[in-house]
Amino acid sequence: MAKSAEISTKTAITPRRNEDFPEWYQQVIRAAELAEPSDVRGCMVIRPWGYGIWENMQRQLDAMFRATGHRNAYFPLFIPLSYFAKEAEHVEGFAKECAVVTHSRLEADADGKLGPASALTEPLVVRPTSETIIGASYAKWVQSYRDLPILINQWANVVRWEMRPRLFLRTTEFLWQEGHTVHETELEARAEARLILDVYERFVRDHLAVPVLTGAKSESERFPGAVQTLTLEAMAQDRKAIQAGTSHFLGQNFSRASGIQFQNREGQQEFGWTTSWGMTTRLVGTIVMTHGDDDGLVLPPRIAPTQIVILPITPKEETRAAVMESCDKLAKELRETRYVDLAIEVEVDRRDLGGGIKNWEWIKKGVPLRIEIGPRDLASGNVMVSRRDQPVKSKELISTRELRSRASEILASIQQNLFERAKEFRDEHTRVINSKTEFYDFFTPKNAAKPEIHGGFALAHWNGLGEVEAQIKNDLKVTIRVIPLDDSSEPGSCIFTGEPSRRRVIWAKSY
């Protein structure tokens, strides 16, 4: 009995989530072959499986942008330093993260050692974000209200010098999309920022199966130079918040700095109203932290590079050809089946490896559906099917005819189950808090020698003052993640000062 119990508790990933969540996260990324550190400190190599996830996100989100009238363009990687100097608050917010190019050309010295040779007339900042360089182009393009709105997005890489890198969550270079728009009126620009927040929420909920809370950031958490920053926040399985995307209403701040002016309908010159918004490869890390388990990655079918993997079981060489033929036939039939109006992505694992080894590799990669076909299945017309959202040893015997008809339905069921499971976890660890003592207890580990996973989302009244927020951040490393935009919260008293509070806000520790 003891041996059986030991086997049943063995997992593919060590340590487990509840033992060392940060190390578990790193091990899942390694086991799933998502990414690895590069020889450049703080930068990562995104491996094909990880990049396949990002490509699916990119394709699907880009289609949603295009459906709302946005189009893609590309702007320079290098930004003249003088462009940043035009917007003081913006440059202050990014100054410590900037990588700066000061020289061109390499020359060898007398010892053959290469070094920079020629100083640039003006240093160039490697883009940490593109408001200033894009603003220079918009200033040329916008002359009249008839030129508006400008609705442009770009898919690019950015660099922010990161002191404590962590794969996908914080790296010096990362991939993202950044939208930049100009509008005729404040009302239109604010509507644009809200529209994109809604697009992001729908994408993360329906495609990534991640539940999020949406709303505004507090003043201290806003994007540098923004009038309002809207955000969506997910909960990782260690109960910390992870920012899944932001949409910023920039007012006329950047238009004034860049000279984006137009002749309005009354014939007068006016500065444009602008927005910017973005999502990054951090979403890959969000999926790991939301859905992963102690056996590896668990992928929502809508963004999985491979949705179904077929594993041939060929213990004897004389049956190999027949098994492989059956696998290829089933793969072809499944590819002709559609899930969310796209052909299902199916792969036959033809590698000359043991079935157990291949099975565990796909478990750790999180492929939604695994199908095993062996010599016995050829005669019976049945296959063994395993869902990644269920225990790894759970299997179901299904006829190939039934599988063909139900494949899309099974994938949809996995997608929905992952969302509901994540939402249940988030709701379970979200608490309404009515006193300072209760708040501090909620975010304080009970065992200092071995901190347990604790905390979550706290809904508590706040008086709106930055001094209170700063004190909480200093004491507990807890910040305001979301100020909800709806009016469902009743006024009350700040739990820290007793002063009037307009509404509850959402506090959490975060990545």
Q: Which CATH number belongs to the domain containing residue 314 in this structure? A: 3.40.50.800
Domain that holds residue 168: 62-98+129-279
Do 310 and 205 share a structural domain? no
Backbone angles phi, psi at 242, to 5 degrees: -135, 125
Q: Say if residue 229's pLDDT is above 60.
A: yes
**Which pair of tokens denotes residue 131?**
């408001």
pLDDT at 265 > cutoff 90: yes
In a domain, 413, yes or no: yes
Stretch 280-290: mean pLDDT:
98
Q: How many domains does the chain have?
A: 3
Is residue 94 a contact partner of residue 128, using CB atoms and an 8 Å limit? yes
What is the pLDDT of the chain when averaged over all its residues?
94
Place of tokens 């807890």: 478
Check whether residue 310 and residue 257 sit in a common domain.
Answer: no
Question: Tens digit of pLDDT for each residue in 365-419?
Answer: 999 999 999 998 888 889 999 999 999 999 999 999 999 999 999 999 999 999 9
Residues 364 and 436 in one domain: no
Q: Quick one: pLDDT at residue 6?
A: 36
Which of 405, 426, 447 corresponds to the end of one domain?
Answer: 426
Domain boundary at 224, 249, 279, which? 279
Nearest to 453 by CA among 378, 509, 379, 401: 509
pLDDT in tens, 300-328: 999 999 999 999 998 888 889 999 999 99
Does residue 251 belong to any structural domain of this protein? yes
150 forms beta bridges with 182
The dihedrals phi and psi of 506, each to the nearest 5 degrees, come to -105, 120
Quickly count: other Cβ atoms within 10 Å of residue 184's Cβ: 20
Pair (201, 320) in one structural domain: no
DSSP, collapsed to helix, strand or coil, labels residue 67 as helix
**Is residue 106 a part of any domain in this protein?**
no
% of the chain surpassing 90 pLDDT: 86
* 487 domain residue, yes or no: yes
Q: Are residues 439 and 367 in the same domain?
A: no
Weakest-pLDDT range from 106-110, 244-248, 460-464: 106-110
224, 347: one domain: no
The reply to whether 31 falls in a domain is no
* Residue 465 located in a structural domain: yes
Pair (331, 239) in one structural domain: no
- Tell me how far CA of residue 279 lies from CA of 53, 75, 225, 353, 368, in angstroms: 14, 17, 18, 39, 24
What tens digit of pLDDT does each residue of 3-20 get?
A: 333 334 689 999 999 999
Examine residue 286 and state whether it is found in any structural domain, yes or no. no
Domain of 470, CATH number, reads 3.30.110.30
Same domain, 75 and 190: yes
92 contacts 224 by C-beta, under 8 angstroms: yes
Based on the fold, state whether residues 335 and 474 are members of the same structural domain: no
Instruction: Please indicate, yes or no, if residue 108 is contained in any of the structural domains.
Output: no
pTM of the complete model: 0.94
Domain boundary among 391, 426, 461: 426
pLDDT for the residue 2: 34
Residue range 351-372, pLDDT digits in tens: 988 878 999 999 999 999 999 9
CA atoms within 13 A on the CB side of 282: 23
Q: Judge if 165 and 182 occupy the same domain.
A: yes
Question: CA dist 19 to 22, 238, 295, 418, Å?
Answer: 9, 10, 14, 23
Residue 445 has what pLDDT? Answer: 85
Q: Do residues 252 and 308 share a domain?
A: no
CATH number (domain holding residue 258): 3.30.930.10
Between CA 290 and CA 454 the distance in angstroms is 16
215: left (phi over 0), alpha (psi -120 to 50) or beta: left
Same domain, 159 and 207: yes
| DSSP string over 409-459 | HHHHHHHHHHHHHHHHHHHHTEEE--SHHHHHHHTS-S-SSSPPS---EEE
The answer to whether 364 and 32 have CB atoms below 8 angstroms apart is: yes
